[in-house]
Amino acid sequence: MPDNFKVAVLSYPMLFQRQGGLQIQILETIAALRRLGIQAELINPNQDKLADYDLVHVFSAINGNYRLVEAARHAAKPVVISPLIQPDWTKCTGLRERFLNWLVGKLTRWHIRTTYQEIEFCLRSSNFVVALGEIEKKSIMDAFYIAPEKIRVIQNGIPQRFFEASPDLFAKKYKLAPGFVLCVATINSYKNQLALVQALKDEPCKIVLIGQCLETDQGYLGRILEFPNVIYLGSLDYQDPLLASAYAAAGVFCLPSQSEVMPLSVLEALASGTPAIMTKHHCMNVDSMHQVLAEIEPNNHEQIRLLVNRVLANPVSSDQCRNAVLHLNWDNVAQDLSDIYRALIR
């Protein structure tokens, strides 16, 4: 089979109206696949036809994406899905949602689909499922009863520029001494920046926030900015060297989200030489990161405060942080995906 087969990449329509981890994952995956000679394209389903491609890769199993999987199957194309299943999908939640799905179906004569039904359809109707870690794989098996042989764990990668980051550019532009607390994420209650600033309200450290804030979350941002030790810089383009430099200049990176799958910002901070603190509710494999990564209960202010102070007072080396994630790169991701693609097309 030739290497230049064509892969249609899709997700929900409004995804790229803002910048986030999934958007970055898709774009970096496409770029890495192209470096392998695979014609991967982020297609427009209103103009491009799935029949013109050899395989369809759908990212995310929510927001109506079951229709993308359905269309691909109708076009007789093999489908790979990266579903991004949150860790709170367990056997118990799966049983509960299956019952609620049945109940809603009975009450509406099966005219209404639940989120559970849409996710399950994506997982069952796809030829292959790509999980970002063993925790996500377990959630897929436990809550949706997907056979383990249908699932492959492929972790996200990290661009090389983060491994080469220096604090100088950021420190010079913003006149900020290195060693501050950094959080890079969309500003909202789910990412939970308010808990971070409340936890550190009496501490001398500066807290630097980077990320887009939508109009609906301006009130939330206003509450955050009431704290005098907070500096909000707005959003930075993902390719901007200032972003990598910000990670390198921080003393600790903290992401107190309510839940995550495999947050790229945490990996990027470690690659930039900065230790990280993140929510305990995630799907990452952290076996190689215990010396440079700590986990928190996102709404436990005292735990956040103690861990941030501990990391700042006992810094680990930049090399130790980088070495913990050195194995994660997008070219490895592309190679693993290409193996799956070839097997399905064959």
For the chain, 346 residues long, give each residue's pLDDT as a single digit of tens. Answer: 456 799 999 999 999 988 889 999 999 999 999 999 999 999 999 899 999 999 999 999 999 999 999 999 999 999 999 999 999 999 999 999 999 999 999 999 989 999 999 999 999 999 999 999 999 999 999 999 999 999 999 999 999 999 999 999 999 999 999 999 999 999 999 999 999 999 999 999 999 999 999 999 999 999 999 999 999 999 999 999 999 999 999 999 999 999 999 999 999 999 999 999 999 999 988 888 989 999 999 999 999 999 999 999 999 999 999 999 999 999 999 999 999 999 999 8
Spatial CB neighbours of 330, under 8 Å, sequence gap ≥ 6: 28, 29, 31, 32, 156, 157, 158, 159
Whether the Cβ atoms of residue 84 and residue 101 lie closer than 8 Å to each other:
no
Q: For domain 6-157+329-345, which architecture applies?
A: 3-Layer(aba) Sandwich (3.40)
What are the φ/ψ torsions at residue 252 (nearest 5 degrees)?
Answer: -155, 145
CA distance 76 to 55: 9
Mean pLDDT score of the chain = 95
pLDDT tens-digit map of 243-255:
999 999 999 999 9
1.10.260.30, 3.30.390.50, 3.40.50.300, 3.40.50.2000: CATH of 160-324:
3.40.50.2000
pTM (2 d.p.):
0.91
Domain layout of the chain by residue ranges: 6-157+329-345, 160-324
Per-residue pLDDT at 1: 45
